[in-house]
Amino acid sequence: MSMNENENENQAFLARFATELAHYKHAPTPSKLANLHQLLADHPTRLPSYHLRKCTDQLSSVSSDLSPTPNKTKFAFNRQTVAVKSPTTTTTTTIPASSSAVTHLTNPTGSIQKPCLLRPPASQTTTALTIGPLTHSIIDLRNLTSLVTLTLSNLSNCLLIASQPLSHSLFVRHCFRSVLLISAAQVRLSDSRHIQLWTRTATVPVIERCESIIFRDPSDHQSLNSVDCVLDFDRPYINDQVTNWKTEGGPKKEEVMKILQAIENYTVEGELGDEMVKILEKCFLGR
Please write the tens of the pLDDT for every residue from 250-260. Answer: 545 666 667 67
245: pLDDT strictly greater than 80: yes
pLDDT tens track for 195-224 = 999 999 999 999 999 999 999 888 777 778
- The predicted model gives 94-121 an average pLDDT of 69
96: pLDDT strictly greater than 90: no
Reported confidence tier of residue 73, pLDDT bands at 50, 70, 90: very low
pLDDT at 263: 67
173: pLDDT strictly greater than 90: yes
Q: Tell me, what DSSP letter sits at residue 224? A: S
- Three-state DSSP at 78 gives coil
Q: Print the SS3 string covering 119-188.
A: CCCCCCCCCEEEECCEECCEEECCCCCCCCEEEEECEECCEEECCCCEEEEEEEECCEEEEEECCEEEEE
Q: Mean pLDDT of all residues in the chain? A: 75
pLDDT at 241: 62
DSSP letters of 226-240?
EP---EETTSTT--S
Reported confidence tier of residue 282, pLDDT bands at 50, 70, 90: low
Q: Cα separations (Å) of 217 from 41, 198, 201, 233?
A: 21, 6, 10, 23
pLDDT at 119: 84
78: pLDDT strictly greater than 70: no
Reported confidence tier of residue 149, pLDDT bands at 50, 70, 90: very high
State how beta strands 149-153 and 128-131 pair: parallel
pLDDT tens track for 121-137 = 888 778 899 999 998 88
86-90, 216-220, 246-250: which has the minimum mean pLDDT? Answer: 86-90
